[in-house]
Structure 1
Amino acid sequence: MVNTDGISPQIEAGCRDLVIDDKTMLKLTELILTEVNKGLSKAGNKDADVKCYETFINNLPTGTENGKFLALDLGGTNFRVLLIHLKGEKNYEVQSKTYAIPEHIMLGSGEHLFDHIADGLAQFVKDQGVSSDRLSLGFSFSFEMKQIALEKAILVKWAKGFHCTGVIGEDVVQLFNDAIVRRGDMNVVVRAVVNDTAGTLISCAWAHPDCRIGLVIGTGTNACYVEKIDFVENYSGPPGTHTIISTEWAGLGESGVLDFIRTDYDRDVDYNSCNRGYEIFEKMISGMYVGELVRLALCSFYENGFLFNGMAAEVITRRGSFLTKYMSEIESDESGVFDKCLKVLETLGLSNASRQDCINVRYICECVSRRAARLVSAGIAALINKIDESSVTVGVDGSVYRCHPKFHDLMVENIRKFVKPEISFNLVLSDDGSGCGAALVAAVACRADKTTANNEPIAGNQ
């Protein structure tokens, strides 16, 4: 629970709806497990909030893969291109570059988006001196998609501020390939498309053989996990015993199952989003939204006279003005010290904030961030219990997890409360993120092709 020492009574009372107790956590863990099972079933999938899409990834890396592979990681307001040289024995080198995606591209046509991405890829391979090499590429595409093969995926819906036309319902790999062909100056083959969670899982499995879950908490949120194929009623992939399932849990709550914990702030964020009614779970957790939740709370308390003692606070009345990174900065202050909080408030035009204001503002940030951590932890606890192995590593990536000073510890504490006592677990930050994982999936696909050609069993099956 959040420490309430020194908090103004009005602030504490006004934040109670943001506090999730253990009884509610247990209910959430059971609810998420129910929703995952619904998504895996034939009868329930159509109406499920948590769609549980196949990824067609049935093999994990062994650490012995060799060669140079490209990855392209698209998941937010930037995309990243990577050249990964795998040297076997869990040894590799990475070169990468990040490219911005302007807002007009995010809101324009799909053709312009993929041309923009192909331009960056072409510049990267030229800079790396590999333009003439034939290279396999893993495409990390971090939006809800329904895969129909390892290298084919249909976009279901945009999120994270994207709204490109002509992409929903289309194969994103084909659109990417078309853009590569239009340029005509690259010898690149897309071998696999993965979402960021699958890439995260794969990148961590390279060093942690018991990695069974991939989690991203950044601009958006999603989780994938290793499931027994016998439990996937709609399975249509290649033969095997296990496969990676992308839960698409950002959509949890679209049917109303989370209404019992949603606040007026949550409803405001959803109402003013570009995808109203969708991604309800994500809007309570991810970096794109939690700063706005804090801003709405600050505005409410300010307008009721409980904050800033009448000081002008016009900046915080502007949507998007309170950045999620401010929460991390404010909560990084040492106990009893408010230097970073004061700096953030000065940035917002509040240069004369009192110590009491700082205490209250930090408490509001803590309530929002701790709720986010508890919601994610409920989901991860449900997946660990479902996997039901003696030891499970969770690979994690995303700016919220990486940058928030307490998110990791909060997750460990809360997951432990709701995971079966006989199961041990570990949260591991993904090195080089989902992009590295996408390249590894491409490498595993190439390895599988060679192995199958030699009529040998595929290594790395779970």
Structure 2
Amino acid sequence: MNNGLKGQSHHVADIKMFPTFVRSLPDGSENGEFLALDLGGTNFRVLLVRLQGHEIDIQSKTYLIPQRIMLGTGTQLFDHIADCIGKFVSEHDLLNHSLPLGFTFSFPCQQEGLAKARLSKWTKGFRCEGVVGEDICELLQEALKRRTNCKVEIVAVVNDAVGTLMSAAHVDRNCEIGLILGTGCNACYMEYLDNVGTWKHDDEKDHHPRQVIINTEWGAFGDNGCLEFTRTEYDRELDTFSINPGKQVMEKMISGMYMGEIVRLVLERLANEGLLFRSVDHESALFERGRFYTKYVSEIESDTDEFFRHTKQVLDELQVENYTTEDCKIVKYVCTLISARAAFLAAAGLATLINRLNKQDMTIAVDGSLYRFHPRFHNLMCLKIKELVKPGLKFKLSLSHDGSGKGAALTAAVSLRLRSLKPLPTDSSQHSLTTQETVSVRA
């Protein structure tokens, strides 16, 4: 992490520690109407978020992106999104309102400002030409001018981890870490600017607190070989057949995109050695890459009695026949080992952040399907974090609600609040104030 934060070592660091340009958490004073756009797949959502202190009202609508637009041009994509935003604004009788917009964009980006992010590459089936390397906020703003009559200004672009943190921090002032445990795995946290050697913006006298949310991109931990001592033959095989061999090593040991495949590789090996499913048909789906879904792991671990109802259902779906109760026990045992390892690795990363921040009471906002649906992930993480944090530091993991929508709108609201502030004193004693402290100073 320190290598990623330092200017001289950032280029060789596995964990990139990107500054997000989000300089403050919500303080409860945010008011007004905000739009949010959540784009991360074949659907996108437009949200109207009305804030009045801690009161919040959200209305939203989901729109489809047709296949022809996903494979078309960037202009077609952003025109389609702008058309939908225009309809949404019109349906809510807001055409004459000035609406700030927070934009959750869940594709790899190089962020250059709070509302400036260049697309690094498309993922998730998108192939829109003319967008890679371009500022996605500018492309959307131009489309809004072209296609609508509404007064919408894009004021912030965030990823899902930042949205998760902002959403939870709105109701919990002890929250300074956001964690995603879903298809991918990533974390962000609030860092003092004095520790961020990559920060090149001359803002000694500006009105922002001397802090910034850091997007760790910690899924790449281990890309330099430092995790080899804990990787197995199954991890290496999964990596070899992945679309990015040698990359995102820690993410591949934790996240929902890969966990099911690791289980499948273990079960395949046991079956091939005659230790499991003795009469298994090698034509069954168990022997197909990617066919053992991570949701199966959560379902299997939900079995609490000797009947193995969920385990049997999964094996039936995979066309495994003639399995025994002993087979079901082994399948469940394999799942528990692999998910416990994932939870412990995520806990090790979180404990590192908690120890770094060194606050007495810390809330971690967590979102993602793996954390939401796995029956033991929360408890496993809590047990391991307790072992790894400094004595006396308390923490709690809290499920964050609608970070990609509400969190984006709150980021927009916070950015407008900071715009309106008078400059803070430049005395060095002010530089290490937290958001909460700067708010009380102003009060």
Q: Tell me the distance in 2 between the aligned counterparts of 1:257 and 1:106.
A: 38
Match of 1:86 in 2: 51
1:417 matched to 2:417? The reply is no
Alpha carbons of structure 1 residues 158 and 425: separation in structure 2 relative to 1, 3 Å: farther
Alpha carbons of structure 1 residues 327 and 80: separation in structure 2 relative to 1, 3 Å: farther
Specify which of 146, 169, 172 is matched with residue 136 of structure 2.
172
Q: CA RMSD in A?
A: 2.7
- Compute the displacement of 1:434 (Å): 3.0
Q: Tell me the distance in 2 between the aligned counterparts of 1:164 and 1:297.
A: 38
Q: Tell me the distance in 1 between the aligned counterparts of 2:294 and 2:250.
A: 17
Any conservation in 2 of the 1:220–1:288 contact (CA below 8 Å)? Answer: yes
Alpha carbons of structure 1 residues 224 and 107: separation in structure 2 relative to 1, 3 Å: farther
Match of 2:39 in 1: 74
- Compute the displacement of 1:264 (Å): 2.6
Any conservation in 1 of the 2:166–2:403 contact (CA below 8 Å)? Answer: no
Alpha carbons of structure 1 residues 127 and 406: separation in structure 2 relative to 1, 3 Å: farther
Q: Tell me the distance in 1 between the aligned counterparts of 2:387 and 2:293.
A: 31
1:442 matched to 2:407? The reply is no
Match of 1:45 in 2: 10
Q: Tell me the distance in 1 between the aligned counterparts of 2:67 and 2:270.
A: 32
SS for the counterpart of 1:405 is coil
Match of 1:275 in 2: 244
Alpha carbons of structure 1 residues 118 and 361: separation in structure 2 relative to 1, 3 Å: farther
1:378 matched to 2:378? The reply is no
Q: Which amino acid aligns with 1:184?
A: T
Specify which of 172, 189, 206 is matched with residue 225 of structure 1.
189
Any conservation in 2 of the 1:253–1:259 contact (CA below 8 Å)? Answer: yes
1:148 matched to 2:91? The reply is no
Deviations 1:60-98 (A, max 9, x none): 11112111211122345543332211122x110112334
Specify which of 205, 211, 216 is matched with residue 242 of structure 1.
211
Alpha carbons of structure 1 residues 175 and 276: separation in structure 2 relative to 1, 3 Å: farther
Stretch of structure 1 that moved more, 161-170 or 78-87: 161-170
Match of 1:28 in 2: none
1:138 matched to 2:97? The reply is no
Q: Tell me the distance in 2 between the aligned counterparts of 1:253 and 1:112.
A: 39
Alpha carbons of structure 1 residues 161 and 399: separation in structure 2 relative to 1, 3 Å: farther
SS for the counterpart of 2:281 is coil
Stretch of structure 1 that moved more, 434-443 or 149-158: 149-158
Any conservation in 1 of the 2:220–2:247 contact (CA below 8 Å)? Answer: yes
Deviations 1:295-320 (A, max 9, x none): 22222222222222213252122222
Any conservation in 2 of the 1:140–1:438 contact (CA below 8 Å)? Answer: yes
Match of 1:361 in 2: 331
Match of 2:233 in 1: 264
- Compute the displacement of 1:268 (Å): 2.6
Match of 2:22 in 1: 57
Structure 2: unaligned runs, 5 residues or longer: none
Tell me the number of residue pairs that the alignment of Structure 1 and Structure 2 aligns.
425
- Compute the displacement of 1:365 (Å): 1.4
SS for the counterpart of 2:256 is coil
Alpha carbons of structure 1 residues 155 and 49: separation in structure 2 relative to 1, 3 Å: farther
Match of 2:259 in 1: 290
Any conservation in 2 of the 1:397–1:434 contact (CA below 8 Å)? Answer: no
SS for the counterpart of 1:296 is helix
Match of 1:327 in 2: 297
SS for the counterpart of 2:187 is strand
Specify which of 327, 343, 358 is matched with residue 388 of structure 1.
358
Q: Tell me the distance in 2 between the aligned counterparts of 1:38 and 1:408.
A: 30
Any conservation in 1 of the 2:82–2:148 contact (CA below 8 Å)? Answer: no
Q: Which amino acid aligns with 1:84?
A: V
Alpha carbons of structure 1 residues 363 and 107: separation in structure 2 relative to 1, 3 Å: farther
Q: Once the two structures are aligned, what percentage of the paired residues are identical?
A: 48
Stretch of structure 1 that moved more, 327-336 or 235-244: 235-244
Q: Tell me the distance in 2 between the aligned counterparts of 1:323 and 1:65.
A: 41
Q: Which amino acid aligns with 1:191?
A: V
1:404 matched to 2:368? The reply is no
- Compute the displacement of 1:331 (Å): 0.8
Structure 1: unaligned runs, 5 residues or longer: 1-35
- Compute the displacement of 1:109 (Å): 5.3
Alpha carbons of structure 1 residues 448 and 384: separation in structure 2 relative to 1, 3 Å: same
Stretch of structure 1 that moved more, 276-285 or 49-58: 276-285
Specify which of 294, 303, 312 is matched with residue 342 of structure 1.
312
SS for the counterpart of 1:189 is strand
Match of 1:194 in 2: 158
Alpha carbons of structure 1 residues 414 and 459: separation in structure 2 relative to 1, 3 Å: closer
Deviations 1:33-84 (A, max 9, x none): xxx0110011210011111111111111111211121112234554333221
Match of 2:271 in 1: 302
Report the TM-score, using the length of structure 1 for normalisation: 0.84
Q: Which amino acid aligns with 2:341?
A: R
SS for the counterpart of 1:308 is coil
Q: Tell me the distance in 2 between the aligned counterparts of 1:152 and 1:309.
A: 57
- Compute the displacement of 1:449 (Å): 2.4
Alpha carbons of structure 1 residues 48 and 86: separation in structure 2 relative to 1, 3 Å: same
Stretch of structure 1 that moved more, 75-84 or 96-105: 96-105
Alpha carbons of structure 1 residues 348 and 117: separation in structure 2 relative to 1, 3 Å: farther
- Compute the displacement of 1:196 (Å): 1.1
Q: Tell me the distance in 2 between the aligned counterparts of 1:200 and 1:374.
A: 21
- Compute the displacement of 1:218 (Å): 1.0
